[in-house]
Amino acid sequence: MTWEFRWLPIVCVLAFAAMAMAAVADEVPTIAITLKDHRFSPAEIHIATGKPVILKITNEDPTPEEFDSSALQVEKVIVGGTYGTIHLRPLGPGRYPFMGEYHSDTAQGVVISQ
């Protein structure tokens, strides 16, 4: 066995470990939001500027609701008793309001990117 081949398993293990660490570092955080009694909880969501985020919205009401935000460029209907996921792109600093289209008087919130 030549010198180069003896090091091949170690190099492969190190390369795999580096890829695994990079995958964990690149994992997109998920923020859980509940919709109950036509209100979002939490209604104020803080995220890091320039980082993508996933919102997992669980609709505990029996009726559907449409998560709507022109600032975030998102519209998604979430059927009652289910959940929906929304992938937010990296945002600049600022406030990004959202609402429940079907109950806009009570279902309101904001994503704050800082």
Count: domains in the chain: 1
Q: Is residue 50 part of a domain?
A: yes
Q: What's the half-sphere exposure (Cβ side, CA atoms, 13 Å) at 59? A: 22
pLDDT at residue number 11: 66
pLDDT at residue number 17: 64
Quick check: 87 and 114 in contact, CB under 8 A? no
Q: Is residue 12 part of a domain?
A: no
Quick check: 59 and 35 in contact, CB under 8 A? yes
Q: Is residue 77 part of a domain?
A: yes
pLDDT confidence band for 5 (50 / 70 / 90) = low
Q: Is residue 25 part of a domain?
A: no
Which letter does DSSP use for residue 55 in this model? E
Q: Is residue 38 part of a domain?
A: yes
* Residue corresponding to tokens 């806009």: 104
Residue numbers of the domain that contains 90: 30-113
Question: Which pTM value belongs to this model?
Answer: 0.76
Residue 50 has pLDDT above 80, yes or no: yes
Q: Is residue 9 part of a domain?
A: no
CATH number at residue 101: 2.60.40.420
